[in-house]
Amino acid sequence: MAQARDRQLVLTMFMVGFGFHNDAWRSPSSRADEIGQLSLIRDMAQAAERARLDAVFFADSYGAKGLRDGNYRGASLYEPIAVMGALSGHTDKIGMIGTQSTSWSEPYTVARQFASLDALTGGRVGWNIVTSTRGNENVGRDEMPLPELRYRRAMEFVDVVTKLWDTWDADAVVDDRANALWVDPDRIREINHRGEFFGVQGPLTIPRSPQEWPVMVQAGQSADGIELGSSYADIIYAVQPEKAAAIEFYNMYKQRVRDKGRDPERVKILPGIMPVVGATQSEADDLAAELADCIVESRARDTLEKTLDLDVSDLEPGDRIPQERFIAGANRVKRWYLFRDLAKELTLRELMVHVSRSLGHRFLIGTPASIADSMIDWFEARACDGYNFNPPSVPEGMNNMFELLVPELQERGYFPTDYVGDTFRERSGLMVSDDDVARVRAKYVKTKP
């Protein structure tokens, strides 16, 4: 085994019980009958913990529109706060990142939920901050607020939450039984926040977190999203299928973090990746082919048409999409151009598989050695600080990642073989500095307005 390197990968996993590959749940070996139950998610979290992953990640959406169309992958069958509470007693060391929306909740509620979970888990919790792109119909709103408004609210929301997490000093609980004083009232502060969206006095009802405050995660790629993430987040999730673009994004992001007076080494950029791993290349190819066969063609066509904004109803699976159907424009995202170029080489079926497989995230089909080579190549080139694994299928594709690929990364010294440190922040190099605390405290209004 190689000596552990100074800079190591941070690895998390998207907890999608259906498998991330579209329709992978149809595979005979899936545990689709247990989705929504504790047994499946517990086994996934424990497998991730045995592999020494930094954290498991629970996405969330505020609606069930995709479910009725058969788009299950993004369905939110596990509410993140509830599931993290349930898993706190079934895991010991692994971090748990849960999504909560700043558009559909209140900062005092979110601050309490994560502070309480952090206390229950001994400092293992993270918050994925999202502004939500849907869900208005379930909170009595006729329209979705525009992104600019959502992010303005999110900035103030996170500002309030971080101030609330700082309202108790670490030594506020004195447990002085002789003098009948459990908590020293002078070591708990109000924040007296009054802003555009929120009025919150504080303090919080819960003592300071064992890791100062929960880890913060953000995945926004727009200018407003990057402003929020670079101001507050410890982990940045991203969709980056190409190395050169990933390096550019990485450098830009770290500079933005530096500009905010924060330490860029303590902000980890983790693009999504789907490793389809086999002990040999042909085993990996077989697994990829088996998962591709799970795809329901009518839905894959639909997904492709929506993603590329064109009509393929007249084409056979073996046809190529004529290039003239791709009409470029200012509203086209990077992924659209990527698929347009791939369409020159791939048949309609191959392209449908490509889009369905990983939603634009990078995927690799190979042996532990070949996939580790590629992951390390990006890491060494500073295209990323680690990865968010999208498990191709559950349990098979997930177990191959943990039993074949992670040991290969450990063998080469790029990933720890055991947990070191007491909290998620310590284990993943995300410690809060004195400067970070001072920055939050500078925002307090000392007296009631």
Ligand X SMILES: Cc1cc2nc3c(=O)[nH]c(=O)nc-3n(C[C@H](O)[C@H](O)[C@H](O)COP(=O)(O)O)c2cc1C
Q: Annotated binding site, which residues?
A: 60, 99, 151, 222
Number of residues that bind ligand X (CB under 6 A): 19
Residue 225 touching ligand X (CB under 6 A): yes
Task: Pick out the residues of the known binding site for FMN.
Answer: 60, 99, 151, 222
- Using the rule CB under 6 A, give the single segment among 32-40, 129-137, 304-312, 369-377 that binds ligand X: 129-137
Residue among 94 and 191 whose Cβ is closer to ligand X: 94
3-state secondary structure of 112: helix
Q: How far is the CB of 148 from ligand X (least distance, A)?
A: 11
Which of 12, 27, 30, 99 touches ligand X by CB under 6 A? Answer: 99
Helix (H), strand (E) at residue 285: helix 281-294
Residue 386 touching ligand X (CB under 6 A): no
Rounded Cα gap, residues 385 and 437, in angstroms: 24
- Using the rule CB under 6 A, give the single segment among 42-50, 127-135, 248-256, 343-351 that binds ligand X: 127-135
Rounded Cα gap, residues 415 and 7, in angstroms: 9
Binding mask of the shown chain, residues 51 to 70, with x at each position contacting ligand X by CB under 6 A: --------xxx---------
Show contacts with ligand X in window 261-300 (CB under 6 A): 272
Q: How far is the CB of 310 from ligand X (least distance, A)?
A: 22
Residue 221 touching ligand X (CB under 6 A): yes
Residue 358 touching ligand X (CB under 6 A): no
- One-letter amino acid at 220 equals G
Residue 388 touching ligand X (CB under 6 A): yes
> What pairing do the DSSP bridges indicate for beta strands 181-183 and 173-176?
antiparallel
Please report the DSSP string for 395-448 in residue order.
Answer: THHHHHIIIIIHHHHHHTTSS-SS--SSSHHHHHT-PPPHHHHHHHHTT--SS-
Neighbours of 420 (CB within 10 A): 10
- Using the rule CB under 6 A, give the single segment among 218-226, 347-355, 373-381, 440-448 that binds ligand X: 218-226
Spell out where 288-422 has E strands: 362-366, 386-389
Rounded Cα gap, residues 380 and 351, in angstroms: 30
- Using the rule CB under 6 A, give the single segment among 86-94, 130-138, 312-320, 431-439 that binds ligand X: 130-138
The closest residue (CB) to ligand X is: 225
Rounded Cα gap, residues 405 and 375, in angstroms: 10
Q: How far is the CB of 391 from ligand X (least distance, A)?
A: 13
- Using the rule CB under 6 A, give the single segment among 20-28, 30-38, 214-222, 391-399 that binds ligand X: 214-222
Which of 39, 109, 222, 255 touches ligand X by CB under 6 A? Answer: 222
Residue 71 carries which DSSP code? Answer: -
| Contact (Cβ atoms closer than 8 angstroms) between residue 129 and residue 161 | no
Rounded Cα gap, residues 401 and 422, in angstroms: 26
Structure tokens, 316: 């056979």
Give the bridge partners for 11, in sequence order: 387
Q: How far is the CB of 278 from ligand X (least distance, A)?
A: 25
Residue among 60 and 118 whose Cβ is closer to ligand X: 60
Which of 78, 168, 237, 402 touches ligand X by CB under 6 A? Answer: 237
Rounded Cα gap, residues 56 and 365, in angstroms: 22
- Using the rule CB under 6 A, give the single segment among 152-160, 234-242, 312-320, 438-446 that binds ligand X: 234-242
First-residue to last-residue Cα distance in the chain: 60
Tokens 């939603």 found at: 359
Binding mask of the shown chain, residues 137 to 166, with x at each position contacting ligand X by CB under 6 A: ------------------------------
Residues that bind ligand X (CB under 6 A): 59-61, 99, 128, 130-133, 219-222, 225, 237-239, 272, 388
